[in-house]
Every structure is written in structure tokens, then in C-alpha cells.
Amino acid sequence: MLPRSKRISTKQFVGAIKEGEVLHTPFFMVRCAKSDTTSRFGVSVSKKIAKTAVLRNLIKRRVYSAVKELSPLPSPAKKIIFIMKSGSDKAVYAELKEEVQKIVF
């Protein structure tokens, strides 16, 4: 799991959604915004994608783990939010990790 210091707080989450540029992949939509300090990450999984909290948390843990494994973090500081799409609940970890690597690094 990604340390709390590398995750986006609720206040920063809203700002990054409004001001970030949008990128699309088969499993998620990504919002990227500039950050003043270090790079931070957030994951959003709606109830339409995964009905149970257990499954939503599993998806979040997989994405955070992929980001952690692909360290070091990007050099220009960014706020990056992954908004999961339908079908991401059935994705294999290796596929998610590959998509994260393409987008972030």
C-alpha cells in the first residue's frame, strides 16, 4: 500500500478533479494536475463499478500497490487521480500495473 504521505487528501482531491487534464485507458480515467510539493495519488471507485466495499477496496489497493512498485515517483510534482471504469474489477494486477506505468511514468 502506498504511504499516506503519498496519497491525496480529500481537499486536494476536489481541486485536482476540477483543474486536472484528462487521460483515458481501458481500465481508468486519469486526472493530472500540477502540485506544489511532491507527487500524490488518489483512486476513486464508484459503486457502479464494484457493488461491495470489499471489492472497491481491493481495486484501490491494487492501484496503490502498482504505484508503489513503480517508484521513484515522477520528477515534476503532480496530483494524479485514477477514476476506475467498468471492467477494472475483473482486471488482473499485471494489466493494471502496466496501464499505471504507461500513464504515470
The per-residue pLDDT for range 43-75, each reduced to its tens digit, is 999 999 999 999 999 999 999 999 988 877 666
Mean pLDDT along residues 28-48 = 89
- Alpha-carbon span 14 to 33, nearest angstrom: 11
pTM of the model: 0.87
Instruction: Tell me which residue range forms the domain holding 93.
Output: 4-104
The CATH number for 45's domain is: 3.30.230.10
In the chain, the number of structural domains is 1
> What average pLDDT does the chain have?
87
pLDDT band at 5 (very low <50, low <70, confident <90, very high): confident
Residue 33, pLDDT above cutoff 90 = no
Q: Locate cell 457493488: which residue?
A: 51
If one counts every other C-beta atom within 10 angstroms of the C-beta of residue 28, the result is 25
